[in-house]
Chain A
Amino acid sequence: MTENVEVPKELDATIQSMDNRFHDIVTLDDRKSYTGYLVPVENLIDFATSIRDDLGYDYLSSVTGVDYFPEEKMEVVYHAYKTSGGGALVFKVQIPREKPEVPSLISVFPGSDFQEREAWDLLGIRFSGHPNLTRILMWEGFEGHPLRKDWKEPFFEEEKKPYKNRWPEGGVYRIEDEVPMGKNVKYPLGFDPQKWTPEEQTTFKEDMDSEAGDNGSNGSAMHTDQIVVNLGPQHPSTHGVFRMVARLDGETVVDLYPEMGYLHRNHEKIGERNTYIMNMPYTDRLDYISSMSNNLGYALAVESLMGIKPPERTEYIRVMMVELTRIVSHLWSIGFLLNDLGAFFTPALYAINERELILDIFEATAGSRMMCNYLRFGGISRDLPDGILETVRELVNERLPRKIDELDTYLTENEILRSRCIGVGVLSKEDAIAYSAAGPVLRASGVSYDVRRADPYSIYERFEFDVVVRYNGDVYDRYLVRMEEIRQSLRILHQVVRDIPEGEIQTGKALYQVRVPAGEAYGRVENPKGELGFYVVSNGKPNPWRYHIRAPSFINLTALGKMCKGEKVADVVAILGSIDIVLGETDR
Chain B
Amino acid sequence: MDPALLVEWLVKSGVIIFLILTGFAYLTLFERRVLARIQVRIGPNRAGPLGLLQPLADGIKLLFKEEVIPDKADKVIFILAPVLTVIPAFVLLAVIPLGPEISILGRSYSLSLAGDVNVGVLYLLAVASISVYGIVLAGWSSNNKYALLGGLRSAAQMISYELVLGLAFIGPILLANSMSLKDIIQAQSRVWFIVLQPIGFLLFLVASIAEVNRAPFDMPEAEQELTAGYHVEYSGMKFALFFMAEYGKMIVVSFITASLFLGGYLGPFVDKLPLLGPIYLLVKVTLILFFMIWVRATWPRIRYDRLMALGWKVLLPIGLLNIIITAILVILVGGY
Contacts and interface: CB of A to CB of B under 8 A. Distances in A.
Interface of A: 227, 229, 231, 235-237, 248, 251, 338-346, 349-350, 353, 414, 416-417, 419-420, 568-573
Nearest to B224: A237
Contacts of A570: 222, 224-225, 301, 303-304
Nearest to B303: A570
B220 interface: no
A344 B222 contact: no
Nearest to A341: B300
B41 A342 contact: no
B227 A235 contact: yes
Nearest to A576: B224
A342 B146 contact: no
7 contacts: A237-B223, A338-B300, A341-B300, A419-B302, A419-B303, A569-B149, A570-B225
B303 A571 contact: yes
A568 B302 CA distance: 12
Contact of B224 (A227, A236, A251, A350): A236
B299 A343 contact: yes
Given A251-B305, A416-B302, A420-B300, A342 B39 contact: no
A248 B149 CA distance: 10
Contacts of B302: 416, 419-420
A342 B222 contact: yes
Contacts, number: 81
Contact of B300 (A229, A235, A343, A349): A343
Given A342-B224, A570-B304, A416 B40 contact: no
Contact of A417 (B40, B41, B300): B300
A149 B301 CA distance: 51
B299 A416 contact: yes
B12 interface: no
B38 interface: yes
Contacts of A416: 216, 299-302
Given A349-B40, A568-B304, A344 B225 contact: no
A570 B304 CA distance: 8
A420 B38 CA distance: 23
Given A346-B39, A353-B40, A416-B216, A341 B301 contact: yes
CB-CB nearest 10 A-B residue pairs:
A342-B301, A341-B300, A237-B224, A343-B300, A349-B39, A573-B224, A342-B300, A416-B300, A570-B225, A346-B39
A11 B107 CA distance: 100
A339 B224 contact: yes
B296 interface: yes
Nearest to B152: A250
A340 B35 CA distance: 18
Contacts of A344: 35, 215, 296-297
Interface in B149-208: 149
B306 interface: yes
A568 B298 CA distance: 23
A542 B148 CA distance: 57
Contact of A572 (B41, B148, B225): B225
A229 B145 contact: yes
Size category of the B interface is: 20 to 34
Interface of B: 35, 38-41, 145-146, 148-149, 215-216, 218, 222-225, 227, 296-306
B217 to A, nearest CB: 10
A419 B296 CA distance: 18
Contact of B40 (A338, A343, A350, A572): A350
Nearest to B226: A569
Contacts of A568: 303-305
Contacts of A420: 300-303
A347 to B, nearest CB: 8
A240 to B, nearest CB: 14
Nearest to B298: A346
A399 to B, nearest CB: 15
Nearest to B306: A419
B5 to A, nearest CB: 46
A236 B300 contact: no
A353 B145 CA distance: 37
Central interface residue in A339, A342, A573, by most chain B CB within 10 Å: A342
A353 B40 CA distance: 8
Central interface residue in B38, B216, B224, B302, by most chain A CB within 10 Å: B224
A52 B328 CA distance: 71
Nearest to B35: A344
A94 to B, nearest CB: 47
Contacts of B223: 236-237, 342
A342 B306 CA distance: 14
B225 A573 contact: yes
Nearest to A238: B224
A341 B299 CA distance: 9
B304 A251 contact: yes
A393 to B, nearest CB: 24
Contacts of B216: 342, 416
A371 to B, nearest CB: 25
A503 to B, nearest CB: 40
Contacts of A227: 145, 148-149
Central interface residue in B41, B297, B300, by most chain A CB within 10 Å: B300
Contacts of B300: 338, 341-343, 414, 416-417, 420
A526 B304 CA distance: 37
A345 B37 CA distance: 12
Contacts of A569: 149, 225
A342 B40 contact: no
Contacts of A235: 227
A231 B225 contact: yes
Contacts of A353: 40
Contacts of A248: 149
